[in-house]
Amino acid sequence: MASPLFDLTGKVAIVTGSSKGIGRSIAEQLALQGAKVVISSRKLPVCEEVAAKINGAGGQAVAIGCNISDKAQCEKLVAETRRQLGPIDILVCNAASNPYYGPTEKMPDDVFMKVMQNNILSNIWLITQSVPDMRAKKDGAIIIVSSIGGVRGTPVIGAYGISKAADMQLARNLAIELGPDNIRINTIAPGLVKTDFAKALWDDPAYLNKRLQSAPLRRIGEPEDIGGIAVLLASKAGAFITGQTIIADAGVTIAS
């Protein structure tokens, strides 16, 4: 018998950046627990393919395109979700950008601003638009997909790390603001996961070997390793968790 603590039947969930990788895994796992899921990314046809597979497997999903760098599109995503599925119960801010690899001193200002807008400000836009539905129900779960880049220094993805640390603080601040309305907000900080987004890292044999040797579990992550954590945070099983960052990294950040 399945535990009712993880049951999300009837809940409406938006998952940004969910056409592939970690976002797709989260959307699929939420749907398996009964949630009605919005598959969203910049490329609508790919979102429609993912939604069709979820629906074909007995779940419920719709595809809504959205470029998170555009505030109007973020507002439309929330409004269209409401129109098609109903008030929002779960928001997963997964979509993010990392357009620059290199030292901070050589990073153009416009690149830095793009990272901050896509990885922090867009989350604020989406949260602000979704919170009224959750407040009306006195219940809601918000999840931001951060990164262990937010708790470690890095010589090549500094702006990304700064943005991910800011997401953790955003969750702490909003947990205090939204807690009285029983709205929980947490972040998940994955380590290296085998996704297209992180391909530049895991596809480098020297870097991969170094990471495998430094990880107590001696492996990198798969998208499925993150989906289940999102289910925990979105469901009654995580009802007493807010303002926290759950690190899922094979133990890299605790190893010497």
Active-site amino acid positions: 160
Half-sphere exposure of residue 147, counting CA atoms within 13 Å on the CB side?
Answer: 25
Distance of CA 97 to the CA centre of its chain: 12
Rg (CA), the chain: 17
Q: Which residues contact 31 (CB under 8 A, 6 or more apart)?
A: 37, 54, 57, 59, 60, 61
For residues 231 and 143, what is the distance between their CA atoms, to the nearest angstrom?
10
CB proximity list for 56: less than 8 A, separation 6 or greater: none
DSSP class per residue in 125-145: HHHHHHHHHHHHHT-EEEEEE
Element of type H or E holding 91: strand 90-93
Instruction: Report residue 101 as tokens.
Output: 């690899």
Give the separation between CA 157 and CA 195, rounded to whole angstroms: 17
Residue corresponding to tokens 């801010």:
93
Length of the chain: 256
